[in-house]
Amino acid sequence: MKKTVTQLADGRELIYYDAAGPGGPRGLPDRRDLGRAVASSEVRTDPLLGEPVGYAAHRQDRTHLPPADQCPLCPSAGGRLTEIPDPDYQVAVFENRFPSFGGSTGRCEVVCFTSDHTASFAALDEERAALVLHAWTDRTAALAEHPGVRQIYCFENRGREIGVTLAHPHGQIYGYPYVTPHTARVLDSVAAHHRATGRNLFDDLVARERAGGERVVLETAHWTAFVPYAARWPYEVHLYPRRRVPALPALDEAARAEFPGVYLELLRRFDRIFGEDAGPTPYISGWHQAPPERAGLPAAAREAFALHLELFTIRRGAGKLKYLAGSESGMRAFVSDVLPEAAAQRLREVASR
């Protein structure tokens, strides 16, 4: 693997990741006339819930659904200059021009999975998927050392129905300046379970799913994928490595080598859930990791966390979306239209033959 670090015209960092093998040099200069990048983010805390809320007014001007010939994530070519100065790339990561968090209040990055505007993650081969995993891991390790970062979330939003504003296959990495409410709640549950039983909640949860089997979607030597017992979304899959680790850099080589095939199979099954006529399935996919050491989490609590990926869609049927109703949006009281056991059965039915 080759890593090339350079800068864009406004001072933002750009990193190219290339698989081993022949290839030309990376890092052509960014010839755009851009002023210095400025991020004006603010975080406030809700006094009733005790939860942080971020504000980033500069994002009002971010690029919104440009035509393909104006995509800022495609390589620069034919005199058209983009966020990627080189005429081609494999995987590229750069600081978001319109970040939700930035400067001393965290950091946001864009991860471009391929230079092919018409592709998708599911269309990648295993070598490219492995390169993306390497980029996620490398950036997780780097952001763990960032003084303003307290949690790292590598994720992809796919599909206009989800709210994606750029069609090019890409994801993002958020370096939050706080531990997110979701993770804080999980950490509390893990600690309470250990006090009550002396065992690890993640280990017990995965063991229960593997023993029962009715919600297991896919099992390999190093990974287990299942629909959770209390899934909130119509089709939701959680993917765990067999050996519990707190974050991506701790994955062993065996799990790392097997991940591309497992993940690509899950994504391809998602695209088959509703039939070919339904089109690509919109989804959100993201890595849940323990907060880095600088977040102040006790070492034992960090080691008790289990790295896992959560993949879900808001589509509940062909041509039907799961809109959050007033009770769900206003009170966080979810009611799902699909039983987890039925969702798991469907995801087994559409396995690659």
DSSP string, 284-307: EEEEE-PPPGGGT--HHHHHH---
- How many Cα atoms sit within 13 Å of 230 on the Cβ side? 3
pLDDT class of 22 with cuts at 50, 70, 90: low
Which sequence positions are flagged as catalytic? 170
Residues 120 and 7 in one domain: yes
Residues 8 and 157 in one domain: yes
Instruction: Answer yes or no: is 108 a known binding residue.
Output: no
In the predicted model, what is the mean pLDDT of residues 82-95? 97
Please name the amino acid found at residue 321: L
Residues 107 and 151 in one domain: yes
pLDDT tens-digit series, residues 153-168: 999 999 999 989 999 9
pTM score: 0.96
Instruction: Answer yes or no: is 117 a known binding residue.
Output: yes
Secondary element (H or E) of residue 128: helix 126-143
Q: Please identify, among 124, 158, 176, the residue that sits at the C-terminal boundary of a domain.
A: 176
Residues 268 and 150 in one domain: no
Instruction: Answer yes or no: is 238 a known binding residue.
Output: no
Q: Please identify, among 160, 176, 192, the residue that sits at the C-terminal boundary of a domain.
A: 176
pLDDT of residue 23 exceeding 80: no
Residues 205 and 277 in one domain: yes
Q: Please identify, among 150, 176, 202, the residue that sits at the C-terminal boundary of a domain.
A: 176
